[in-house]
């Protein structure tokens, strides 16, 4: 190591076959590389595994640490080292290409992004997602998909025009100027500039009406309605202003998934999940750092704000690289509170569920789930393999706005269509046991009125389907309350267990002592997944209910806000934080209320200091 340079650069570790197995950046190459070959006590087990495979190393020196960062990203993309986080199949991610140089531009899918003057959008996570986007814009807008020059003199229109997917330039049914306006609107739409698209369409509709071109006015009216429908699907994210990407990572052993949740003009543009390889020796922040470097090098656009789930190493250098890539200022933020933190947490929950679903549906996941369900049957002495498990939890703040959740797992996989929420009606104050008792009593009462059979193997259907196993979040006390509800309702054949968080002990009615399943056992992992999902679902419902109640109480005292306007405001702003951050003009626009009333609402919110 004494011969290693002390300058900035990149180091490459190679194995016995000469293959690059790891690439890293350092401001001082000698100091950084020496850390791998000193005392092993400070190295993780996974890093020691990397070191054991190193047969040779190579140094590449540069002038600055910023140059080293760029070189590191390039070498990871070139060599795809085994121990570096890398985007799966990053050389072939699909893009949408708008060939704006053509007199009659087309919109198509491509896997090659070149500097040819075209406008590119992406990368998309897979071909399915990019084709879904293409189908969507073909329904909202109409453009040609055929190739070659257009003379406008063909005797018959093509099938695409007949079914309403092409404006018919081949037969002269649209002028080049009108077609170019449509392409401009598609570009704005794909950039997330939906308000500009709507303004352009509405202006065109009015102009066509004034010319008494009612056929075109009707076409543009339908297009306005279609754009408005698409862009209003995710109004709950309007609390985030401007253009932002939210990035979160889920990691389990050697598998990782990063979700990019894109917001443009305060509205959701879309979300993409990217599988990450080579995560065996890395922590989630390291995986996220590697993804940021690789993704924004090939991304068609870099937003001015990027919200991250974790802080990443070399944050200042990465930010400088993104600023250069964007040609403007870029912020890398890790929110600690407020609506941004809530959105990041939601994205993190989403990507964690997606990773669990991918693993469950993999060949190895199917094998583990099968083994886990069989283990639960044997250890808990269940009459059948628990094909359907229902999980329950309570969420409340000192007894206020108490709610219960029910989640369903079938064959170890979440089934969101079976989830149910309960508002606690009969319990006052902080009494978790009575709340669990109420939720299970109502659930089992609904089951009594159904017609399903108890303990039926195989996939279950509907809310009336009987669970093979009920899991409550908690220990002996919560289990006792759940058993009371079951015995009162006569559901005596449904096994119930409790899972306590502190030691992950499983409590069941047939044993006086808790069952201590091994920490890495497939059966315990299934129960933990059910418990954690029930907790997440309950907390989310409680938070939304609490925010809605707080907003409603403030709006009740505002002059000029009756039930209709109150409902419009609550639908437009799903969180109190979002409503408080909105200006009077935004309140008026998004809720469809007069500006004068919106100003009064704005003043009332400020006076309430919420």
One DSSP character per residue, 155-218 reads SS--HHHHTTS---GGGT-S-HHHHHHHHHHHHHHHTT-HHHHHHHHHHHHHHHHHTT-HHHHH
Contacts of 473 (CB under 8 A, 6+ apart): 391, 392, 393, 394, 498, 499, 501, 531, 534, 535
Question: 441-470 burial by CB neighbour count: b if 16+ within 10 A, else e?
Answer: bbbbeebeeeeeeebeeeebeebebbbbbb
Q: Please write the tens of the pLDDT for every residue from 36-70.
A: 887 766 677 777 888 888 989 888 888 888 888 88
Residue matched to tokens 């979440």: 414
Residue 332, pLDDT above cutoff 90: yes
**Structure token digits, residue 571:** 């639908």
Q: Which is higher by pLDDT, 269 or 256? A: 256
Q: Please write the tens of the pLDDT for every residue from 583-599.
A: 888 888 878 888 888 88
Q: What is the DSSP string of 19-60?
A: -EEEEEEESSHHHHHHTTSS-GGGS-HHHHHHHHT--EEEEE
**CATH number of the 380-542 domain:** 3.30.420.340
Contact 94, 123 (CB under 8 A): yes
Give the whole-angstrom CA distance, residue 608 versus residue 610: 6
Domains 240-354 and 380-542 share a fold: yes
Q: Which is higher by pLDDT, 184 or 449? A: 184
Instruction: Spell out the SS3 assignment of 390-426.
Output: EEEEEEEECCEEEEEEEEEEECCEECHHHCEEEECCC
Q: Please write the tens of the pLDDT for every residue from 149-207.
A: 666 567 777 777 777 778 888 887 788 888 888 888 888 888 877 777 778 888 888 88
Contacts of 367 (CB under 8 A, 6+ apart): none
Residue 142's alpha-carbon distances to 86, 169, 367, in angstroms, are: 38, 11, 47
Residue 484, pLDDT above cutoff 60: yes
Torsion of CA 513, 514, 515, 521, to 10 degrees: -160
Classify domain 240-354 at the CATH superfamily level: Ribonuclease H-like superfamily/Ribonuclease H (3.30.420.10)
Q: What is the enclosing helix (H) or strand (E) of 226?
A: helix 214-231
Residue 148, pLDDT above cutoff 70: no
Q: Band the pLDDT of 247: cuts 50, 70, 90.
A: very high
Residue 468, pLDDT above cutoff 50: yes
Residue 450, pLDDT above cutoff 70: no
Cis peptide before 123 (omega within 30 of 0): yes
User: Per mean pLDDT, which range of 137-146, 197-206, 568-577, 585-594 is the poorest?
Assistant: 568-577
Contact 352, 431 (CB under 8 A): no
Residue 553's pLDDT is 60
Residue 470's pLDDT is 94
**Structure token digits, residue 106:** 């087309």
Residue 600's pLDDT is 83
Residue 552, pLDDT above cutoff 70: no
Q: Band the pLDDT of 541: cuts 50, 70, 90.
A: confident
**Structure token digits, residue 401:** 């706005």
Q: Which is higher by pLDDT, 580 or 211? A: 211
- Ramachandran sector of residue 96 (left: φ over 0; alpha: ψ -120 to 50; beta: rest): beta
In 3D space, the residue among 487, 495, 529 whose CA is nearest the CA of residue 511 turns out to be 495
Give the whole-angstrom CA distance, residue 193 versus residue 266: 10
Q: Band the pLDDT of 549: cuts 50, 70, 90.
A: low
Every domain of the chain and the residues it spans: 9-84, 95-236, 240-354, 380-542, 556-608
Give the whole-angstrom CA distance, residue 421 versus residue 404: 6
Give the whole-angstrom CA distance, residue 125 versus residue 92: 10
Give the whole-angstrom CA distance, residue 524 versus residue 497: 12
- Residues 468-475 have a mean pLDDT of 92
- 9-84 folds as GIY-YIG endonuclease (3.40.1440)
Instruction: Give the count of beta carbons closer than 10 Å to the beta carbon of residue 373.
Output: 24
Q: Which is higher by pLDDT, 377 or 559? A: 377
556-608 classified as CATH 1.10.150: yes
Q: Band the pLDDT of 491: cuts 50, 70, 90.
A: low
- Residues 248-263 have a mean pLDDT of 85
Residue 363, pLDDT above cutoff 70: no
Residue 546, pLDDT above cutoff 70: no
- Residues 314-343 have a mean pLDDT of 89
User: Per mean pLDDT, which range of 117-126, 272-281, 537-546, 583-592 is the poorest?
Assistant: 537-546
Output the average pLDDT for the chain: 81
Residue 141's alpha-carbon distances to 188, 220, 227, 543, in angstroms, are: 12, 10, 9, 39
Give the whole-angstrom CA distance, residue 191 versus residue 185: 10
In 3D space, the residue among 550, 549, 560 whose CA is nearest the CA of residue 591 turns out to be 560
């Amino acid at each position: 190591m004494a011969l290693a340079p002390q300058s900035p650069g990149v180091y490459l570790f190679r194995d016995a076959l000469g293959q690059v197995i790891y690439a890293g950046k350092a401001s001082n190459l000698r100091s950084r590389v020496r850390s791998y070959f000193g005392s092993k006590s400070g190295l993780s087990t996974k890093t020691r595994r990397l070191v054991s495979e190193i047969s040779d190393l190579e140094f590449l020196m540069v002038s600055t640490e910023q140059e080293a960062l760029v070189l590191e990203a390039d070498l990871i993309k070139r060599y795809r080292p085994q121990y570096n986080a890398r985007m799966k199949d990053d050389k072939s991610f699909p893009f949408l290409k708008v060939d704006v140089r053509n007199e009659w531009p087309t919109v198509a899918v491509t896997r090659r992004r070149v500097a040819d003057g075209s406008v590119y959008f992406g990368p998309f996570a897979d071909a399915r997602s990019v084709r879904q986007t293409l189908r969507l814009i073909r329904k909202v807008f109409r453009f040609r998909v055929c190739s070659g020059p257009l003379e406008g003199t063909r005797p018959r229109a093509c099938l695409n025009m007949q079914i309403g997917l092409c404006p018919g330039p081949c037969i002269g049914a649209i002028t080049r100027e009108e077609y170019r306006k449509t392409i401009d609107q598609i570009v704005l739409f794909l950039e997330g500039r939906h308000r500009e698209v709507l303004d352009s369409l509405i202006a065109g509709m009015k102009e066509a009406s004034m010319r008494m071109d009612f056929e075109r006015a009707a076409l543009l009216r339908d297009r306005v309605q279609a754009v408005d429908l698409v862009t209003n699907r995710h109004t709950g994210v309007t609390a985030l202003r401007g253009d932002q990407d939210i990035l979160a990572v889920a990691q389990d052993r050697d598998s990782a998934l990063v979700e990019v949740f894109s917001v443009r003009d305060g509205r959701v543009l879309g979300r993409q999940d990217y599988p990450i390889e080579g995560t065996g020796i890395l922590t989630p922040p390291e995986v996220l750092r590697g993804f940021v470097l690789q993704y924004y090098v090939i991304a068609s656009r870099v937003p001015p704000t990027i919200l991250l789930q974790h802080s990443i190493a070399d944050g200042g250098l990465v930010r400088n690289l993104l600023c250069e890539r964007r040609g403007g200022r870029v912020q890398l933020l890790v929110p600690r509170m407020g609506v941004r933190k809530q959105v990041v947490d939601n994205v993190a929950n989403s990507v964690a569920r997606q990773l669990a679903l991918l693993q469950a549906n993999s060949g190895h996941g199917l094998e583990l789930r099968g083994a886990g369900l069989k283990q639960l049957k044997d250890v808990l002495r269940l009459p059948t393999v628990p094909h359907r498990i229902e999980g329950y939890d309570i969420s409340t703040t000192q007894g206020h706005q108490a709610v219960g959740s029910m989640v369903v797992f079938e064959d170890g996989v979440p089934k969101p269509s079976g989830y149910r929420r309960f508002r606690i009606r009969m319990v006052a104050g902080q009494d978790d046991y009575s709340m669990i008792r109420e939720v299970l009593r109502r659930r089992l009462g609904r089951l009594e009125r159904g017609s399903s059979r108890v303990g039926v193997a195989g996939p279950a259907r509907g809310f009336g389907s009987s669970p093979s196993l009920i899991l409550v979040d908690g220990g002996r006390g919560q289990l006792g309350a759940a058993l009371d509800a079951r015995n009162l309702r006569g559901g005596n054949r449904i096994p119930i267990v409790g899972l306590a968080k502190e030691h992950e002990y499983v409590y069941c009615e047939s044993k006086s002592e808790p069952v201590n399943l091994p920490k890495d056992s497939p059966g315990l992992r299934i129960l933990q997944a059910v418990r954690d999902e029930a907790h997440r679902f309950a907390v989310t419902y409680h938070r939304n209910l609490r925010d809605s109640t707080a907003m409603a109480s403030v709006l009740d005292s505002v002059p000029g806000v009756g039930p209709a306007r109150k409902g419009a405001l609550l639908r437009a702003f799903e969180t109190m934080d979002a409503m408080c951050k909105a200006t009077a003009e935004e309140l008026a626009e998004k809720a469809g209320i007069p500006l004068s009333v919106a100003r009064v609402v704005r003043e009332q919110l400020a006076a309430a200091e919420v």
